[in-house]
Amino acid sequence: MVDIGIFRSGFPDSANFGFLESLGLRSIVYLCPEPYPEANYEFLKANGIRLFQFGIEMCKEPFVNIPEETIRKALKVVLDVRNHPVLIHCKRGKHRTGCLVGCLRKLQRWYLSSIFDEYQRFAAAKARVSDQRGSGHLEPSRAYLEYHVDDFSGWLRRRVQSSYKWDRIRSCLSATDMCSELNQSYRMAQDFFNARITPLQSGCCKPPTQCGYTFVNPTYWISPINNAADMDCLNWNNDQNQLCYNCDSCKAGLLANLKKEWRRADIILLITLVALIWVYLIGCCAFRNAKTEDLFRRYKQGYT
């Protein structure tokens, strides 16, 4: 909750619709340029929620300046009490949402230090270089990496954004023992925090670090009083059949795992290609030598 009648979050999916209904929303301010998903749009239509879209590109390197006029228009919507309760969201509910909320705080005469503190609390530190590669993000006091779905290309994201496709993938993931084996390997919190777990385990078996959950074991965590920093924080469930399988972090972990497997496949294919080229060259040399020897033999026979 940002203020009375104003909320913020990451991108909501069908699993969050029940919670959104409980807020009694009148409006949603959407800060991404991509079209709003059909399922979400139908939910808004069914509940009489008005959508305001202000397309702001992701601020990756090279950095993108957020248009001042776009922020002004979005602020007018947020400040108009006729639109309350209103939910502000982008993909992760961090940077674009944080910039808009920061401007709102400035209008509320907050000190700049307090505005930046709030921004950092929600956004946390992000390694921009790794953002572009989808190679994971370092978190304080953690050896493992965490993954964000919007770090990957649109083509890859579309492979996991469909609820129908993801339900099938999720059922396969939950049937494995990748999460339960963490409980056997890591009993103490510090041992787990120092572990080099896989992208899938990082995304699906535990809540995101920024949510502030307290460790009990790798797949069981105590919820903080306020865990609304990200929609994934609300999606986490200690039920061993649910965990974070509905989280965007799980989808990101799957995509990161796929990219890692593709890199291995690329290396194998490259080695195979080099080997085939060598075989081809050796074959060509052998064939040429055989032809040369045959030519000399015929020439010699004809000469004698």
Check 32, 59, 90, 244 and give the catalytic one.
90
Which residue intervals of 175-247 are DSSP H helices? 180-185, 189-193, 199-204, 231-235
pTM of the model: 0.53
Statement: residue 128 has pLDDT above 50: no
The predicted-structure confidence for 29-84, as pLDDT tens digits, reads as follows 999 888 888 889 899 999 999 999 998 876 554 455 677 888 999 999 999 999 99
pLDDT band of residue 25 (cuts 50, 70, 90) is very high
| Domain chopping of the chain, boundaries | 1-123, 126-266
Do the beta carbons of residue 249 and residue 203 sit within 8 Å? yes
Please, what is the average pLDDT of the chain? 85
Whether 90 is a known active-site residue: answer yes
CATH topology of domain 1-123: Protein-Tyrosine Phosphatase; Chain A (3.90.190)
Query: Between the CA of residue 47 and those of 9, 27, 39, 118, what are the distances in Å?
Result: 18, 10, 13, 31
pLDDT of amino acid 294: 66
